[in-house]
Amino acid sequence: MTTLARIFERIVGDDVGVAFSAYDGSKAGPDDADIRIEVKSPIAVAYLAQAPGELGLARAYVSGHIDVHGDLYTLLSRMWSLTLNDLPLREKLDAIRSLGVKPLLMRVPPPPQEVRRSALARLGSRHAKQRDAKAISHHYDVSNRFYEWVLGPSMTYTCAVFPKEDSTLEEAQYTKHDLVARKLGLRPGMRLLDVGCGWGGMVMHAAEKYGVKALGVTLSRQQAEWAQKAIAERGLGDLAEVRHMDYRDVTETGFDAISSIGLTEHIGKDNLPFYFRFLNSKLKPGGRLLNHCITRPTGKEKTINTGGFINRYIFPDGELESVGYLIRQMEDNGFEIRHEENLREHYAKTLRFWCANLEEHWDEAVQEVGRAIARIWRLYMAGCIVGFERNKVQLHQVLAVKLESDGTSHVPLRPAVDWP
Active site residues: 384
Report the alpha-carbon distance of residue 85 to residue 97 in Å, rounded: 17
Burial of 387 (0-12, 13-18, 19+ CB in 10 A): buried
Specify whether the CB–CB gap between 340 and 323 falls below 8 A.
yes
Specify whether the CB–CB gap between 258 and 181 falls below 8 A.
no
Specify whether the CB–CB gap between 173 and 204 falls below 8 A.
no
Number of residues assigned to the chain: 420
Specify whether the CB–CB gap between 27 and 19 falls below 8 A.
yes
Burial of 208 (0-12, 13-18, 19+ CB in 10 A): middle
Longest Cα–Cα distance in the chain? 78
Report the alpha-carbon distance of residue 388 to residue 198 in Å, rounded: 22
Specify whether the CB–CB gap between 393 and 344 falls below 8 A.
yes
The dihedral region occupied by 155, where left means phi > 0, alpha psi between -120 and 50, and beta the remainder, is: left
Specify whether the CB–CB gap between 216 and 260 falls below 8 A.
no
Bridge partners (DSSP) listed for residue 241: 215
Specify whether the CB–CB gap between 287 and 411 falls below 8 A.
no
Cα–Cα nearest to 294, from 285, 286, 303: 303
Q: Report the relative pairing of strands 213-218 and 191-195 from DSSP bridges.
A: parallel
Cα–Cα nearest to 305, from 68, 135, 55: 55
